[in-house]
Amino acid sequence: MKIFVCEHDPYRAKLMQDILSVYNYKIVTMQKRGDIFKEIQQQRPAVIVINETFAKESVADMIAHLRQDPKTAKIPVVFISNSAPVEQQLSQYRFDMLTEIIQEPIKIKNLRHYIDRWTTFRSLYIKH
């Protein structure tokens, strides 16, 4: 399963890659804020993990764009928030069955649970 890790800080990106690669996921790290949507459409990841600092525009706009694009509408997103106000902005996506919002500091066990939920147990959570 291919996991996109969108992290602006190269050290944190490497840390996430090292931690998640232990679980036999193919990790693709994106450190540049280039055209993430083009990469997503080319490589079709199973899950996208985005840190708050990675978003070019507002975080709500980025997730809204992911949900409105037909090619990315069904890809689960794990959004890592650094602050509570961002979590309030994204409250409308709290009930979106494909968006998980987790607060910093993250526990690896919880992050792995979210990724397993969308890779291993996907058929239980997504109705096609």
Query: Domain locations in the chain?
Result: 2-43+50-122
Q: What pTM was estimated for this model as a whole? A: 0.80
Question: What is residue 33's predicted lDDT score, i.e. its pLDDT?
Answer: 67
Question: What is residue 126's predicted lDDT score, i.e. its pLDDT?
Answer: 55
Identify the CATH number of the domain defined by range 2-43+50-122: 3.40.50.2300
Question: What is residue 34's predicted lDDT score, i.e. its pLDDT?
Answer: 66
* Residue 66 φ/ψ region, left for φ over 0, alpha for ψ in the -120 to 50 degree band, beta for the rest: alpha
The stretches in the chain having pLDDT less than 70 are 33-35, 56-57, 83-96, 121-128
Question: What is residue 128's predicted lDDT score, i.e. its pLDDT?
Answer: 47
